[in-house]
Structure 1
């Protein structure tokens, strides 16, 4: 609507000025009116073709028409995203054209006696009028164009920042979800390690207790005492773990105002450290007791240690203990009565362990206690060892038994 209105006003102006142009040129006034109206109407395409509008305005300058078209056309040209040399060239052409036309008209007026001012007024009037018609619209257009480009740049930057913030929020949510999954996996692994071995031995002893209850009361009493001891040990470890989890949840509630992205990334590592710091986790010093419990359940276990024993970081000792514990549990489940060899090697920069069992006395036999298997033991052992930068290998032996091997660096590194 603005462009149509400006074009209508410009056409009317040029049509009126076309009458005097027709009189000076000696043509019918109607032709001057039509010519002026057509020239002024070109302003309607100023946004699409600003160069054409300026060129038309320069072309009709000698006819002393199209002043509005020249001013609006120069403003639009300067505000457009065109090379500065094109804008400068067209503005210079418009300035020169209006200067020449003004110089000639003022000189003619002075020659007819319409103006009684000195000759100095001719160049002064030409320069002043031409600059007044050219400089303000060009400068204003350049200012508006620069401001418009600045606003567009700021808007694009704001949109880009908004997209980046959205991506960061999505990544933070993904990291938080990853941390939650890692925490759930770690808790499940700890629960499995704590419960599986103790309860498996309890079930084995309970089955033995059932078998000898009437035949050998003294052995039944001994097995019952062992079941009670193992149950109390399992409850103690469970209470320690639940206490750590409860204290961790209370700490997270206290830090609820901290952004999720900052807390989620360290959740799993912090929880693991809490278990090691607050709970008295198992260590290699309890390996003899662990093997003794298996031996009491009827398993023949041969322990051999190579190298000089030395203290390791808590996470290394706990992982080594859990690997041996889970391997012995699997022997109870799948190869009851098979002789088992536990080998531990202290090396310069690592600790290696291997648990290998011979084939069971009866091929295909499992524990008489019918222990269930969830299939997560080997996966949990591999996750523990890999988390410390170690290597875990498991599989059947050529003799028909099963072997579990692990090597853990003495200075653990994150996998």
Structure 2
């Protein structure tokens, strides 16, 4: 019901002003009769008070477009009623208090308080002249002045609250925009990592297979033909993963048409693909293997894939060891290339400005809340090691 009333009031603002002004006129007229009754003065003329109250309430319809003029007119009407002999009660001063409240809502604070002081001074002067005995000054002088200042304070308080609400809304909008921008950047970086890992891995394997086949074409044509026959498998796998990665950017892509994200269970296929280009990979597992969340499983697979791709592109000794160590709290991945890595390869691995392989692996590990380290070994070779936190047993079972 409250929301319905708010919508109706927003749709018919003029009708709301008319109704509220009519109600205020009724209270003000009541104040005129109450003052005449309390004062017990039969000689007090009634119609000037009613006329002045009607004028004061009527001009309130323009209080939003001309607030200072309306305040001036209502103050003059109330002062005239005071000089006639009416007691300036809150009921009688209602139009003036509403006008003062409206002026106090304006952003110009200096105008607000200048107008409040001027109105209070006018009411105080009226009360001082119209009050005969000093003991009546509280009702005729202090009380009306206090009501005027109270309306000014209340209007200023409402204005400050509205300004604060607007500032909070603007701040919240800026925060939402910043959060949206940050998420877009993170999503772009994630997709860029996916595309880099897919393209770099499969193109490196395809390039190695093509180069090896060209080298063996004259001396061992059978092996060259067998290696060339495996090229469609590598390119088909690359196309499937590219379709899955690019499909994330298309809203109209059917999720059933996309290939599932690779996981650690597909390491044998990855090792077999690496073996087709002559890279001998030994995979060892320690501890009790556990099912991983999809995102963490993909992160672990991509790190192993990128490390093996770098070995394929840069290493002289085409052999690698992949170690998966499971503990109750984390999974440690260690990919090691034996001694014999070309010095330029170590520089390419260690220099983030030369490529995005190490940078992508580091970003994946850190985004999962883990640690990452890569560098040459003291005895030769290169090692990539990262630790990925695993969800607790209670969370995984729940």
**Distance in 2 (alpha carbons) for counterparts of 1:226 and 1:72:** 95
Q: Report whether the alignment pairs 1:99 with 2:133.
A: yes
**What is the CA-CA distance between 1:350 and the residue it aligns to?**
2.2
Could you say which residue in structure 2 is the equivalent of 1:379?
359
- State how 1:200-349 maps to structure 2 within 5 Å: 200-247=204-251, 279-349=259-329
Deviations 1:178-220 (A, max 9, x none): 0110010011011111111111100111111221223222112
**Distance in 1 (alpha carbons) for counterparts of 2:286 and 2:297:** 16
**Distance in 1 (alpha carbons) for counterparts of 2:238 and 2:344:** 30
**Distance in 2 (alpha carbons) for counterparts of 1:317 and 1:188:** 18
Pick aligned residue for 2:376 from 376, 382, 396: 396
**Distance in 2 (alpha carbons) for counterparts of 1:340 and 1:174:** 43
Could you say which residue in structure 2 is the equivalent of 1:157?
161
**Is contact 2:371-2:386 (8 Å) kept?**
yes
**What is the CA-CA distance between 1:374 and the residue it aligns to?**
5.4
Q: C-alpha root-mean-square deviation of aligned residues, in Å?
A: 3.6
> Could you list the runs of 5+ residues in structure 2 that have no partner in the other structure?
1-68, 70-113, 347-352
Distance 1:361 1:141, change over 3 A: closer
Greater gyration radius? 1
Distance 1:310 1:365, change over 3 A: closer
**Distance in 1 (alpha carbons) for counterparts of 2:253 and 2:140:** 69
Pick aligned residue for 1:171 from 169, 175, 199: 175
Could you say which residue in structure 2 is the equivalent of 1:112?
none
Could you say which residue in structure 2 is the equivalent of 1:75?
123
**What is the CA-CA distance between 1:150 and the residue it aligns to?**
0.9
TM-score (norm 1): 0.58
**What is the CA-CA distance between 1:361 and the residue it aligns to?**
6.6
**What is the CA-CA distance between 1:355 and the residue it aligns to?**
0.5
**Distance in 1 (alpha carbons) for counterparts of 2:182 and 2:299:** 22
**Distance in 1 (alpha carbons) for counterparts of 2:305 and 2:363:** 15
**Distance in 2 (alpha carbons) for counterparts of 1:279 and 1:402:** 32
**What is the CA-CA distance between 1:314 and the residue it aligns to?**
2.0
**What is the CA-CA distance between 1:356 and the residue it aligns to?**
0.9
Q: Which runs of 4+ in 1 moved over 4 A?
A: 71-74, 361-366
> Could you list the runs of 5+ residues in structure 1 that have no partner in the other structure?
3-46, 54-70, 79-90, 101-129, 252-273, 367-372
**What is the CA-CA distance between 1:387 and the residue it aligns to?**
2.1
Distance 1:215 1:165, change over 3 A: same
Deviations 1:267-309 (A, max 9, x none): xxxxxxx99x975111122112211221221223222222233
**Is contact 1:344-1:354 (8 Å) kept?**
yes
**Is contact 1:351-1:407 (8 Å) kept?**
yes
**Is contact 2:330-2:388 (8 Å) kept?**
yes
What SS does the aligned partner of 1:312 have? coil
TM-score (norm 2): 0.61
**What is the CA-CA distance between 1:354 and the residue it aligns to?**
0.4
Pick aligned residue for 1:184 from 188, 191, 213: 188
What SS does the aligned partner of 1:246 have? coil
Distance 1:142 1:77, change over 3 A: farther
**Distance in 2 (alpha carbons) for counterparts of 1:349 and 1:334:** 33
**Is contact 1:338-1:361 (8 Å) kept?**
no
Could you say which residue in structure 2 is the equivalent of 1:9?
none
**What is the CA-CA distance between 1:98 and the residue it aligns to?**
4.8
Could you say which residue in structure 2 is the equivalent of 1:148?
152
